[in-house]
Each structure stands twice: as structure tokens, then as C-alpha cells.
Structure 1
């Protein structure tokens, strides 16, 4: 094991305007985080429990920024994709397990995200959701397989910025109860809140966001010399932009909505008679932008990891990778035909991702303290990562327990198997780390 050394400091080597122009990779992760699934969790929390879970909403961007920072360190210090680093340090089976975890989490999410995009498009235009599902699948396939990462990054920065503005504006036209909001800062987790709490945190601390970061930085040719810029990128996107996004949506829902079963589109439409048409359209436009940016960002994640595992390039210069991106985009089209209420499905998708997230965090922490990197984490970074692991693991366990409490069916049974496999894998990684630390101390 390498000797422990302090984290590299992110000193601004350029001006703020220069950093603002150059940032980007973490905004792609932010475009997934600031998506309809996060929105569904925030709406369900605010409409169902008023301001009670405000503390979770505030914790979410902090935890998300910390998770992205750790993933950023691993990517910059190794200058390799996370799958390659896992295979070199832990072995091929562990690499395949990580790939499978991401493909399952991102694949299920892709279908429900497409349903949201198609539903919003149908609401605005009057054209059927099925038609929009096919149209958006083709647009994403052509755009990402043809133009690649740079197109996605530009779209992510523009759409996320626009989404944040739209939701902040909608928050200004609803009446807020400041007293109740202050009470919501006290950490409590009443019965029935585990699923939405896991969904809120899962929007920011998700396995897809953690694992994609090394590849998006590779696409920009970032290395250790870009440490300051990369840190600024994480803070601006996950802590600031995503934090404002989350708080604004939650406050709108907690202030004027009272039906936690509302769909994301239904929540926007309900604002019309409650607080005016301006709020309705601001919310609807924000939802549309968030859904489209998330669909594009989520599309590239499984191809990144699969291509890396197979030894392919993770750029459109490699036709095999391009084919993976196009195939994953086109396979999302059936999502537009899924029945049922989209809000519950979106929350469930994020909660399912939360099950796989502790494993990803444990992997990153292990690698950041192993021979994979030239300088291991500082005590502070490890403490923060450890707390992140405990919080995400606790929420994941609460979610599984809540699902099993309703009875073991096909869905809950599959969730249980998924959780047991990844839970055991997480404990094995933690045990391996502790054994190595004891042996080298």
C-alpha cells in the first residue's frame, strides 16, 4: 500500500471565467442527477411529507459532490477508466460485477426516463407518447453516435442551467412556510419515508454518476494537471447547480402540492389552478429539459464501461463503441409504452440504483487507498467517503426492508437478490481493505 498523503489541493491556476468556460465533465453527471427521477422523489417527498425531509434534500448535493470528488480523484490519479483500474487491482470478476451493476441500474432507468421524455413531449405537442419514444430514441442515437461526447457536454451545460433557472423561477411564485421549512432541517425519518429518502439521495449519489466520471474526463484529456479545474467542475455542477435544483423543486412541492401519487407531469399541471399558469409552464419546461438531458447522459454510461471492459476505445472514433451507444439509445424506445404511474416508477428506479451505489463507493475508496494510485486519500477524504458509504448503505437497507415488508413478489424478490449479491460484494471489499491495512500497519 502507498503511504498516506494529503489530498492534492485544488488551487485556482486560472481565473473564474476561464474555469467556467472550461468545465464540463461533471455537468454531464449533473444532467443525469438533475433528471425526472430525482424530481419524482422530490415531488413525492414534498407532497407526501411536507417539509419533513428537507434535511435529506440539503444532504443530497453535499453527498453527491463528495462522491463525484472521490470519483474525480480516482480518474485523474490513474488516468484510466474505472473498469480497467478495477480489473488491474481486484481482478476480472470484480470488473464484470461492476459492469453488470451499472448496466442493470442504467438500463432500467433508461426505460423509465424515456417514458418521462415521451410523456412531457406528448403533453406539450399533443402527439402520442409512442411516437415520441421512437423519435427521441432516434435523435439520441444519431446525435451521440454521430457527434459523440462533446455534443452531450454542450447540451448538458445548457439544459441544466436552463432547468435550474426554470425551477428557481417557479419557486418564487409559490407561498413558502418558513417555520415548517426550518423544522424540516431536523433529521427525522418517519415511517414510509425510506423509499423517497433513498430516491432523493440516489439522485445525487448513484452508481452511474460515480462510474462515468473517469470516462468523461478522459474525453476531455484531463489529467492530474487539471485537478483544480476538475474540482471546480464538481462544485459548480453537483453542489451548486444540482443543490439549487433540488431545493427549488422540493419547496414547490412541499408548499402547494398534497398528492404524492402525482406524476411529474401531473405535478406541473396541478400548479396551474393552484398558483397560476406561469408556474405550470415553468415547471413543465424545466421537466422537459431535465428529462432530455438525463436521457442523453444516461445513454453513454453502459457503453463506456462495456467498451472499457472489452478493450475498445470509449469514443466514437471506435465504430464498436459507436454501435453500443446507438444500440442503447434505440433500446430505450420501448420505455414510452410502459404503463402505470411514472412517479412511483421513477422513485423506484433511483432506489434500485441506491442498492448498487454502496458497492461502487467501496470500490472507489479501496482503489484510492491501494497501489492503483500514487498518493492515497487523506484521513479527511476517507472519513467523508466512509460516512457516504454508511449513509447510502443504511438507506439502501431501509429500502429493501420496506419492499420486503409489503411481501415477496417477483419484483421485490429480484430486488432482494440484487441487494444480497452487491451487499456481500461490498462487505468483501471492505474486509479486504481492512485486512490489508492491518497487515501493513
Structure 2
């Protein structure tokens, strides 16, 4: 794809020349800091992009075939009235043979009518169980008590799984005996607002590209709760889900990789509901980033043990970079732009913003092409240079600070559309 080559020419050759030209062509302290920050940010993408492209190009057809392994789909739910029914319906309409499939919905002490809605939509292949509220990890472990399948699939109660998704997940296990877990492809379903369009593009550029790159190493670090699958043997071998982080899916995935299993990404599609307000997005990401940093601290022994292979040499270092150096670099870039504007270099900064928006736009187009999604989403790429990027970086750095300071690390989550509608009707 010629756009890939053009992206690398601009990143490696044109970017340094362009920045030096605009900043006077001298190695001033500002120039050095600015170039280092930009190099870190775009190297982060440039390193992984070709690996992700190779993984997409070599992705085999992973549809399941007879004899079909038994599959248990776990759906943990807390206050998911208005969402859980559609999730169950989609799973019941799966192409995977019904005689080899069961669905276990776990109502984790909901205070609304989640349990009643789940029962209303349940058929003979669906179990609905209740427990006191104990958190998502607790709900997942409780559901495993009722699960009888050889393959354990996890689906969030606000997600809609494609008809062929279970077949693709299982097919990946049939094709590779060393595969301990599989990560599905998560897409944003509701895209009608700016905040959701930005999340859609972020999922495709920031998450899909890196997940595909890590998949090429067999070291995908997060099997998402929205759609992921484990061999029962692998999940039981790491003693299921732990309570000591806020991202039980990330923690379980890292434990699985440490045991020597491979984890790959497949094109098993799941649509999920993205946060609809900036406050909801803040709450969601606060939990994600806090949990990610907690998990990396928990498994910091990986950094000092070469037996963990790609997990030690690539995955964990790059994730630590993403939670520390990259956000700081983003603020350095933003601060450098502001300082240049204050001393009157407006035209130069506008040109620089346009140039790096072009780079981000090209990256977005390549990622959208890889994921076969709508190219018009690339028009939001400039906000990943100034705007949305700084919002995310702020939440990342706050999350890291909170964990290091051992502040109140409670579960924070986004409200669903159905929850907000009920609140509005109640008011």
C-alpha cells in the first residue's frame, strides 16, 4: 500500500527537516525537546504498524469445524437493564451449534431489573444466576461454577456479538494447540456524537493496530471482557480472575502469557456501547488506566526475567512507555506549541500543526483500511494532535499518580444510554 511508504517517508525524513526549518534550523533546547517528543510519539506508531499489517495479511480463516468443542459464554451484568436482553438475543442467534453452546448470565447484585430482563430473554440454552455484588472478577469466577464448556468466552452485557464471532474464536483454538486465549475485535456501535466518533477512531488506530502487532508475537496483553475467549485449561491454570486490580481482563491475560500460552487477536467482531459524555469517558478511562498500571506493577517481575520472551522484551516495556513517557511527550509537544504561539510564531505553529495532522491522518486512513471501516472518520485525526490527545494524557498521568500515591482506587464506570434514559424519565 503506497500510503504506508508515504507515511514513513514523512515520519523519518520530512518530519525532522520540517521541524528544524520552522524553529530556525538551530539546535536550540526547545528544538531538541520538541524533536525528542515527536520522535517518541510517532516512533511508537511507526514501529508497530508494519507488524500489524503483516498480521492482518496473514490472518487465516479461523471458522470452527466439527467436532465442535463445548463453549460457555459468561455475561457478567451489573445494572444492565435495557442492554442485557439484546446481548443475550445476539448470542442466542450465533451460528455456533446450539448443542455445543451455553450462555451463563451472572447478575452481580443489580439494583435494577437486570435479572428479570435476562430471564425474560433466556431460553433453554441460557442460565441466569444471581449473587451479591462483589465486582466483575467475582461475577466471572461465580459464573465459572456453572460453566461446563471447554472454551470460556466472555462478553460484556452491553455488547452485541456478530453471528460468526463464536465460530471464529473457537476456530483459532482448533488451529493452534498452543493458543491459550483469543482477543476479539471490538468496535463502537453508537457513533452519533463527537466524543463517540473520537473513541471509534481511537479504538481502530490506537487499539487495533497495537493488538494486531502484539498478535504477531503471540503476546496480545489484553483479552477484552467485551469479547474474548480462553481454553478452560489455561484459565484454570492461572486460578481464574484476581481481585487485586481494576482490570481483571488485563491481569488474567498477563498471567496466561506468563504461563507460556500464546494469545492472538482474530477478526471476531463485537459491537460495544461507548461512553456518551466526556464525564463518562473520564470515569471509564480512569478505571482502565489505573487498572493497567496496577497490573503492570503487580507483574513487574516480567521486566527482569528473559524467559518471558516477547512479553519481557516488547509488550510490557511498550505498555509502560504508553502509560508514562508518551503522555509526558504529548504535553511537551503541546507546551512547545503554546510557547511558540506566545512569542509570535503563529504561522510556523499552524504549519507544524497541519504537517503532523497530515501524519496522523495518514495513520488513521491506513488503520481504517486495515479494519475495513469508514474512511471519513479520518477527518477527526487533527484532534489526536491537539485536543483529544491531551484529554487522554491527563487521565493517564492522573491514574498513574493515583496508583503511586495509593489513593482511593475504587471502581469508576460510564453510565449506559439505557441507564441515562431511566434517570431522565425518573427526573
Instruction: Answer whether TM exceeds 0.5 for this pair.
Output: no
TM-score (norm 1): 0.29
> Comparing both structures, which one devotes a greater share of its residues to strand?
2
